[in-house]
């Protein structure tokens, strides 16, 4: 398996889940304030965390990859930061998976995905881990725990 990049336990490979495009977004936070005399004062509030979008095509019937992309979506829904590494050894550090967008562009006989695409957006994780106990296991588990404490 020729690994191109790793996102936590997930691997982007030449065949299977791959990527063709990596977009890095740098964003600064500015606030414009207008003064009484009609002037303007700009205030710099710092930079937003570095955001990276990983995009690629999926040819599931020929090479697989769709189930791997769905596994990344499951990792995102758990809300746990994961490390991001490139093949060259570049470390992006810990990131949070902000979104996973999957499309099924061409469907074959029997509902087989012939061609699809993915866009995975991550952002540098700069905080400490403090998982919300209500979110562990989904809202159903949170409601069950609440019901157990009430009754």
Q: Domains of the chain: which residue ranges? A: 3-150
pTM: 0.72
Measure CA of the first residue to CA of the last residue in the chain; give whole Å: 53
State pLDDT tens for residues 59-95.
Answer: 888 888 889 999 999 999 999 899 998 877 778 889 9
Q: Which residues pair with 94 in a beta bridge?
A: 83
State pLDDT tens for residues 96-127.
Answer: 999 999 999 898 888 888 899 999 999 999 87
Task: Single out the residue of 13, 9, 29, 143 nearest to residue 72, CA to CA.
Answer: 9
Give the span between the Cα atoms of 79 and 16, in whole angstroms: 25
For domain 3-150, give the CATH number: 2.40.30
């Amino acid at each position: 398996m020729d690994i191109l990049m790793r996102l936590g336990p997930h691997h982007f490979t030449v065949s299977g889940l791959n990527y063709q495009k990596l977009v890095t977004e740098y964003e600064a936070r500015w606030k414009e304030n207008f003064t009484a005399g009609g002037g303007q004062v700009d205030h710099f509030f710092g930079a937003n965390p570095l955001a990276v979008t990983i995009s690629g095509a999926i040819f599931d019937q020929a090479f697989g990859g769709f189930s791997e992309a769905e596994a990344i979506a499951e990792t995102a829904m758990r809300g746990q930061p994961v490390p991001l590494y490139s093949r060259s050894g570049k470390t992006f550090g810990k990131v949070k998976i902000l979104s996973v967008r999957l499309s099924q562009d061409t469907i074959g006989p029997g509902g087989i995905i012939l061609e699809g695409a993915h866009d995975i957006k991550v952002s540098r994780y700069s905080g400490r881990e403090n998982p919300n106990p209500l979110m562990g296991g989904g809202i159903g588990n949170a409601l069950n725990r609440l019901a157990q404490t009430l009754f």
